[in-house]
Amino acid sequence: MPDDHPAEDAAVSRQALNPLFHEPARLALLSALAPAEYTDFASLLRITGVSKSALSKHLSALADAGVIEVGKSDADRRGRRIALTTEGRVAFDSYLDALDAIVQRARR
């Protein structure tokens, strides 16, 4: 079925694409956190393929925005465990919905 307002729908989808999430390393990081209760720093290093300092900067930006929380690992007090906040999970789900809408529109 053709869309009655494709330009308006595209604009709404683009507005929902949070630029904080759209950076490739952050997208990989958030995608790793989404299905998990929490993930450790070393796992995120492996998943994203960025340096320790780059990952720390990405985590700081996301934590400052209230998207994630970083805490100490229960098993290893030097380790860090990273989790999406409730607000971060909602925002990332909205981002994924907007991205999916754009992809679906492109495949019509």
List pLDDT tens digits, range 30-79: 999 999 999 999 999 999 999 999 999 999 999 999 999 999 877 666 67
Do residues 71 and 53 make contact, with C-beta atoms less than 8 angstroms apart?
A: no
Average pLDDT over residues 10-33: 83
**What are the residues facing 82 on neighbouring strands?**
39, 70
Domain of residue 91: give its range.
6-106
Strands in 68-72's sheet, in edge-to-edge order, are 39-40, 80-84, 68-72
Residue 80 has a pLDDT of 86
Q: Give yes or no for residue 84 having a pLDDT over 60.
A: yes
Q: Give yes or no for residue 12 having a pLDDT over 60.
A: no
The verdict on residue 1 lying in a domain is no
> SS3 breakdown of the chain: % helix, strand, coil, rounded to 5?
60, 10, 25
- The CATH number that applies at residue 93 is 1.10.10.10
What is the pTM (predicted TM-score) of this model? 0.81
The verdict on residue 15 lying in a domain is yes
If one counts the domains in the chain, the total is 1
Q: SS3 of 51, please? A: coil
| C-alpha to C-alpha distance for 52 and 50, rounded to whole angstroms | 7
Residue 94 has a pLDDT of 92
